[in-house]
Structure 1
Amino acid sequence: MKHSVTPTIHRLLGSNNLLVVVADGYNAAAADQTGHFLADMALTLAKELSSYAVVNAKYKREIMDLADVGTILTRPKVRDAFLVPIKKFKDEIENNGLPPLLLLFQCLADAEQGEAMVVFGYGQGERASAATPHRPTIPASLLAKIRIAIEDQHLRTALAPVDSPYCGRDPQHLNQLFKQKIYCADWYAPEVRSILISIRPDLVGQQETAESIGRMLAPAFAQFGMAMSLVRNIDINNIDVTSPDDLRYIFRLSGDQRYTDLLRESYIEELAGSIDRNGLLHPLVLLKKDDGRYKILCGFRRFQALKRIKRSSVEAKVYQEADFSPEDFFNISLAENTKRRNLNPIEIGNFLESASTALGLSNTELAERFGGTLGIGKPGQNVSHSTIHKYRKVNQIRLRGESPEMISDVINEKLQFSIAAEVLAPIKNSADRDALYLHVIKPLAPTRPQLAQLLAQFEQLAPQLGEAIALNKVQAALVKALASPQPAATLIKLLRQDTSSPEDDHPEVFKAQVDSVRTRFFGKQANKKDFNILPSSPTRRNEVIVHFRIRQGETLDTLKRLCHALEQSDPFSWTKQTDDS
């Protein structure tokens, strides 16, 4: 026999006033022991009921009896893992205006098996008796109704004898947790109803049988559960924001340390102050996950603000994750997030990327389903797939961690999205992209036509954009341009003054020579990135720089033949600078 569930203390969140508790759910592992699968039964029951649950499957009863509150209170670690969650769940139920009903399960001893399958204890004893005091934890009338409901499921019931350990009337017993003032003042809650339910061990002796009993009990106890409203108060610590799946529907950018302005600290601080003064005006929208905890559908920044002011609970609209399709949740999240503030271009791209990945949608399908709600594209026209592509393209730069200042400036409206999407994003090399943005676009603010002219000139200077901008003459021109009233126009003018070019004297002959060598050694489809000749510097008119690519293994032979061809083709004195790739 082996453990059927993970040997830990299981804690499930619920959506009604029922709380299932098991103090002894550890399944004996030794072959000569008769084990039970009470934990399986209880967890099955809790899931069927969508109730709260705290189930001990970690500590053996022989080592520590978790039904004895006095013992638990001497062990802080066990108290925090077992008793404190019970109280927190009770508080959460009460905070939503419902009377908690605790269902405490245990097994009967083998020697006490009788015809009864389920034995109930509610603190019963004899009134005015010191030996067997009467400490009820649930009204007898409600217990009678529960017994009838259980009997309707073809499970025979009985009331525990007053002199048995199955009554749950000992003041140290878990069944008396909220009825006694001997623990802590804030634990005493006489309005809480609890009942001790002992199950015949043969009914939970096999895993399948135990789970079947859990499913049989579910419809009986469901009659006494009261569902929480859609909007409810929940413990803020039960919201998860760590795994990618927890953030599946969160496309508001926050907490990305690569981009300095994404945290928007001032906004979070302002929101936290507003909530502290005026309360939460709009509840969070949460999804209850399969493990019973929550993830955020809408309100991630409100959640951050609430954590900042150390709120222990939060009002939230809670949906079951199984109630809707992922597309429904994307639509809900999008509608909620665009209700109060427009999304920035990177957040739009982030949403589109998430929706495409989760739903398997193409750019055309994304445009059809979400384009109108996002409010992108030209007014009065349907959003095109190319527009969707641009937003995703820029967001991909963020996802790869490239060009952080460019992304930050798009978010903070310091860089036009159209330039980022149509000029910068198509540049595959991030170093080239950064060089163009940081050295040219950001300081000079060129118009689109001016930018096109500059790109054409840079292409003539070097195979790679970053290399061209790093040239001494370009850097010198940038310094002069920044000092002029029209920096972009000045830079264009300065770059056109190419006094060191050997083409000035014989442009057609020189071009023909270069084209001939390029075609001969690199093929008819070759371009200037494969082979080109550039001026060395304005002060060294008799020197040029030769850029070319050589296949691995052919370097020396090709270099010799290329030098011979150059010496035959042109009277200049050449200085060769290779760029092997």
Structure 2
Amino acid sequence: MPKEKFELVIHPEISKWRREKLVNEALFKDIREKGQLQNLIARRLPDGSVELLAGYRRYLALKALGKKAEDMDIKILENVSDKDALLIALSENTKRKDMSPVEEGRAFRSMKKLKMTVEEIALRRGVSESYVRNRLELLELPRKIQELMENGEIPMSYAKPIIRLESIGERAQLELVQEIKRGQEDYYGGIRSVEEANDVVEKTLAQVRQMKELAAKYGPCPQCGSTQIGQDWEKNKVKCHRCKHAWHKETKDPWEFHELKQ
């Protein structure tokens, strides 16, 4: 009996969940030596094509070995809805290779695109709603920080304090991350707990609020126009954190000139 020929297409959302896009060398060698030991999971689409749901890494390895779709061991499911396709894919992915919290977050985001609520996702996956929300929150982090979490360099528990600095900018978030990393590597320095990270964030946000209040009251730096200004220990002295220019808060005179007049 001739093999069924069909087009195997890649699901546009599922393919985004994992960062790994190239052929895994170890898996390639294993399949070349032992053959395909686990089948791929796919669903048949209304147009007759077959859409891959699970086994993308094995698919890449088999394709690199010159295998066509009809030569691969594929379990093709019939009448699978879009929602069920994502749930099947997530279940199969977590069985075969642990997914990082960021990767799970991407999967949950795909489900939200299909109008699934956090409550529905949690119910269908058998996890708590906070579990789903916490992983979705990770996607609010800059890409660089997501990659550090995927690589296990930054624990997921630090996500919330890092996200709180979003209003200040990515630079502030990355500086906090560097201190967290230093705390893991250096016994005497850096940030060593989530509580410490929250304390640093509180102080940073308070400083930013103070700078905004001062800029609203006394205006930006006369030298460079920055609003990153602060009050010095000397009375009536305001200093720019960016260019270090100092001036009298009322007269706007450069501080050196103000001192000469005294």
Normalising by structure 2, report the TM-score. 0.72
**1:448 shift after superposition:** 1.9
Cα offset, 1:344, TM superposition:
0.9
Q: Does the CA-based 8 Å contact 1:543-1:573 persist in structure 2?
A: yes
For the pair shown, the structure with the greater C-alpha radius of gyration is 1
Partner of 1:375: none
Distance 1:349 1:410 in 2: 12
Q: Which residue of 2 aligns with 1:240?
A: 9
Alignment of 1:378-397 (within 5 A): 383-384=128-129, 386-397=130-141
CA deviation after TM superposition for structure 1 residue 300, in Å: 0.8
**1:415–1:423 CA distance, 2 compared to 1 (3 A):** same
Asked whether 1:364 is paired with 2:119, we answer yes
Alignment partner of 1:318: what SS? strand
Q: 1:338 to 1:463 in 2, by over 3 A?
A: same
Aligned-partner Cα distance in 1 for 2:215–2:161: 29
Q: Equivalents in 1 of 2:118, 2:83: separation in Å?
A: 15
Alignment equivalent of 2:173, drawn from 407, 414, 433: 433
Checking the alignment, whether the CA contact within 8 Å between 1:349 and 1:392 is kept in structure 2 is yes
Letter in 1 for 2:151: N
Q: Higher relative contact order at CA 8 Å, sep ≥6: structure 1 or structure 2?
A: 2
- Matched pairs, number: 234
Give 2:173's aligned amino acid. R
Aligned CA distance change for structure 1 residues 278 and 362 (closer, same or farther; 3 Å): same
Q: 1:410 aligns with which of 149, 152, 165?
A: 149
For structure 2, which runs of at least 5 residues remain unmatched after alignment?
185-190, 220-226, 242-246, 258-262
How far 1:264 sits from its partner (Å)?
A: 7.2
Partners of 2:207 and 2:52 lie apart in 1 by: 52
Gaps of 5+ in 1: 1-92, 97-233, 255-261, 373-382, 469-514, 523-529, 548-562, 576-581
Aligned match of 1:442: 181
- Verify: 1:545 aligned to 2:234, yes or no: no
Shift in alpha-carbon separation, 1:454–1:414, aligned structure 2, 3 A:
same
Q: How far apart, in 2, do the equivalents of 1:252 and 1:460 lie?
A: 37
Distance, in Å, in 2 between the alignment partners of 1:413 and 1:274 is: 26
Which residue of the other structure, out of 36, 48, 54, is the alignment partner of 1:292?
48
| Contact 1:298–1:333 under 8 Å retained in 2 | yes
Question: 1: distance between equivalents of 2:162 and 2:199?
Answer: 15
Of 414, 422, 443 in structure 1, the residue corresponding to residue 160 of structure 2 is: 422
Asked if the contact 1:543–1:574 (Cα under 8 Å) also holds between the matched residues in 2, the reply is no
Give a deviation string over 1:42-68, Cα, whole Å, max 9, x none: xxxxxxxxxxxxxxxxxxxxxxxxxxx
* SS, match of residue 425 in structure 1: helix
Distance in 2 between residues matched to 1:520 and 1:335, nearest whole Å? 56
1:454 is aligned to 2:166: no
Specify the alignment match of 1:337 in structure 2: 93
Q: Distance in 1 between matches of 2:136 and 2:182?
A: 26
For residues 513-569 of structure 1, what are the alpha-carbon distances to aligned partners after superposition, in whole Å with 9 as ceiling and x for unaligned? xx8x789789xxxxxxx8962449xxx99953258xxxxxxxxxxxxxxx997359x
Asked whether the 8 Å contact 1:272–1:305 carries over to 2, the reply is yes
Could you tell me how far 1:269 is from its partner in structure 2?
1.1
**Which residue does 2:244 correspond to in 1?**
none
Q: Contact 1:247–1:296 at 8 Å: present in 2 too?
A: no
| Aligned equivalent of 2:187 | none
CA contact (8 A) 1:271 1:305 kept: yes
1:249·1:330 contact (CA, 8 Å) conserved in 2?
A: yes
Matches of 2:87 and 2:21 in 1, distance apart? 25
Given candidates 64, 84, 87, the residue that maps to 1:308 is 64
1:95 aligns with 2:6: no
Q: Tell me whether 1:533 sits opposite 2:227 in the alignment.
A: no
What is the distance in 2 between the residues matched to 1:574 and 1:461?
A: 25
Higher helix share: 2
**What is the rounded CA distance, in whole Å, between the counterparts of 1:300 and 1:535 in structure 2?**
59
Structure 1 distance, partners of 2:82, 2:143, is: 32
Q: Percent identity?
A: 19
- Matched-pair contact (CA < 8 Å) for 1:403–1:430: no
Q: CA RMSD in A?
A: 3.9
Other structure's SS at 1:275 match: helix
1:95–1:391 Cα change, 3 Å: same
